Amino acid sequence: MLQNFTQFNGAFGCSWCHISGKRIPSGKTTVNVYPYHERLLLRTKENVEFHANKATEADVIYMGVKGYSILSTLPSLDIAFGMVFDAMHCFDMGVFKQLGSLWFDSSFHDKPWYIGTPKIIAAIDLALLEIIPPSNIVRIAQSLNQKVLWKSSEWRSFFVFYAPYILKYLMKAKYYKHFCKVSQACFLLNQSFVSNEDIFEADRLLNEFVNEFQLLYGLRNMSFNLHQLLHCTDCVSRWGPLWVYSAYDFENLNGKLLQMYNGTRFVDLQIVKKFLKIQLLKSELVQHMDNSNFYSKFGKLIRRILGDGIPTKKIFRTDKCVFIGNGKPFTIDNETMHLLSDLDSNKLPFNPEAHRFKKGIIEKNIYSTSNYKPLSQKQNCYVKTRNGEILKIIEMVGVESYVNSGMMAIFIGIKFRHKELFFKNKCRLIELEPEGKRIAFYPTEIISKCVVLKSNCNFVLSVLPNLFERD
């Protein structure tokens, strides 16, 4: 609508290229599908302007362009390349949900890809019950029988984190191998940092996935969302990882806007006035942040208004971490002191009188020790560090250095040997081998957290692609 193009279900309905689509019969009507094309002629600012001129002169839709867009008057906006790909609606509520329908809906019971039998559903549900996600994944895995109620984040969690492990031996190999391509591509494009090699690999996987989809599931199921995957990597190369501009944050902010009015009259004005008042209040508070007396009295209120509040009064702040609770005083033993001294090549001396904690927050991410509520539905103790190590946090220590003033946050964890399952790069799906030695590390070394997929007999973890996304 903003580009003034025709809809996805019309001829030339793609915002990115000049593919026309194909009308095929479906029951008593017809649908527009998008067969795979290896080479696509992309839209550009220049040819969109040319087509808009043709459409305006003849008063027709020309190559999918209805006419000039009001956004075209913005000098710095490219009407073709200036639009971004939305992973929430294309991947999660689009392709992933479509695959879920094809696999599990009884209307496809006679198809070779169907795995919706009661026996298989029961096996999947049993596996879902074992899953213990970190707090970054808000919603606990629900039964497949409730999939009609699943939110987009639940489809994403199932297809990116859970299904590659759960479905390995429950579906035919060719369908499993095919599905893993889109799952892996989605993972690669949602990392904190996406390299050129990642983009190239994801582009190869997505092209193979879309091309093979038509062979495996038929032309009727070649939806527009599938076609959009072919433009996904171009968007990432221009605008960065998918999570940066997905609709999740915008929909979350929409929810906040809906809380800014009372009654049904002049809703737009109510929202604008309340929003401006909040912004004014924030700017006034920021001006007083340097006033130590004012901040000491109203600091907690200020942080809460500015969105940096901690929902408890018992906190202990260090340089990089906010520990929850007052902490338990203890004296560091020689073995632990040796681990701490190994953190720095200069062997910094630490005060042996320290505090031990079980929970902490670093840059809005929650971490906890392995003995913190071990039967909880969430676990935040399994992490991945910059050097690729998988660690289980067993202690969180607030300790003071004799050299540097102030308290420091140091984690102590158990380093696991591990082997990668199914995916041979990016340390994505792993099985832990017997526990190794204890090591100390700074919390700033953490680059990801892990989902526990299996915890009996042997541990299987799925690594999150980044620490920024929220459901």
Q: What are 313's two structure tokens? A: 């009064």
State the residue for tokens 């081998």: 433
Looking at 50-64, 66-80, 294-308, which range is the least confident one? Answer: 294-308
Q: Can you tell me whether residue 297 is helix, strand or coil?
A: helix
65-83 tens-digit pLDDT? 999 999 988 888 999 989 8
Element of type H or E holding 208: helix 196-217
Are residues 21 and 12 in contact, defined by beta-carbon separation less than 8 angstroms? yes
262-291 tens-digit pLDDT? 888 899 999 999 889 888 887 777 776 666
Residue 437 — pLDDT band, cuts 50, 70, 90? Answer: confident
Cα separation, 213 vs 185, in Å, equals 15
Average pLDDT over residues 443-457: 89
Are residues 241 and 194 in contact, defined by beta-carbon separation less than 8 angstroms? yes
- Terminal alpha carbon distance of the chain: 27
Query: What b/e readout covers 7-28, taking b as 16+ CB neighbours within 10 angstroms?
Result: ebeeebbbbbbebebeeeeeee
Q: What are 326's two structure tokens? A: 């007052």
Percent of the chain with pLDDT over 70: 91
321-375 tens-digit pLDDT? 889 988 899 998 888 888 887 776 556 678 888 899 999 999 889 999 999 988 8
Fold of 310-463: SH3 type barrels. (2.30.30)
Q: How far is CA 379 from the centre of its chain?
A: 17
Taking Cα atoms as reference points, which of 392, 374, 394 lies closest to residue 384?
392
| pLDDT tops 80 at residue 306 | no
140-175 tens-digit pLDDT? 999 999 999 999 999 999 999 999 999 999 999 999
Average pLDDT over residues 113-122: 96
Q: Can you tell me whether residue 469 is helix, strand or coil?
A: coil
Cα separation, 368 vs 359, in Å, equals 4
403-434 tens-digit pLDDT? 666 788 999 999 988 887 766 656 688 888 87
Helix axes 292-305, 267-287, angle to 10 degrees: 150
| pLDDT tops 70 at residue 128 | yes
Averaged confidence pLDDT in the chain: 89
| pLDDT tops 80 at residue 438 | yes
| pLDDT tops 60 at residue 111 | yes
- Residues forming beta bridges with residue 410, ordered by sequence position: 397
Q: What are 193's two structure tokens? A: 């940092």
**Residue-range domain boundaries for the chain:** 1-83, 84-250, 310-463
Helices and strands (DSSP H and E) totals, the chain: 14, 14
Taking Cα atoms as reference points, which of 133, 162, 184 lies closest to residue 423?
184
- Residues forming beta bridges with residue 418, ordered by sequence position: 432
Average pLDDT over residues 7-29: 91
- Residues forming beta bridges with residue 322, ordered by sequence position: 317, 361
Degrees, nearest 5: CA angle 224-230-231: 95
